[in-house]
């Protein structure tokens, strides 16, 4: 029997998906290392270099990623 791999994708967070994404959480042992998705999204509103996406496994939300992308700044740093 052959098992087909599901696709992992990064997707924009929309008004329709934000509650699903903010409802995701890490395991108890990881909670001291990262902020909640809701806090990270709130911080992104005030950080022009914030780039964030929802992580999907097939059609199921599975995570959240956020990083700093200085190319989003205007003017760009030297």
33 CB-near residues (< 8 Å, 6+ apart): 26
- In the chain, the number of structural domains is 1
pLDDT computed for residue 2 by the predictor? 67
pLDDT computed for residue 1 by the predictor? 65
pLDDT computed for residue 5 by the predictor? 72
What is the extent of the structural domain holding 47?
8-72
- Sequential pLDDT tens for the chain (78 residues): 666 677 999 999 999 999 999 999 999 999 999 999 999 999 999 999 999 999 999 999 999 999 999 999 988 666
Side by side, which strands form the sheet with 8-11?
8-11, 50-57, 60-68
pTM of the model: 0.83
CA 63/CA 14 separation, integer angstroms: 15
* Within a domain: 17: yes
* Within a domain: 60: yes
């Amino acid at each position: 029997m052959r098992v087909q791999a599901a696709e992992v994708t990064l997707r924009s967070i929309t008004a329709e998906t934000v509650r699903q994404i903010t409802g995701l959480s890490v395991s108890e042992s990881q909670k001291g290392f990262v902020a909640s998705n809701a806090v990270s999204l709130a911080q992104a509103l005030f950080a022009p270099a914030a780039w964030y996406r929802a992580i999907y496994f097939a059609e199921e939300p599975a995570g959240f990623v956020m990083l700093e992308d200085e190319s989003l700044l205007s003017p760009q740093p030297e």
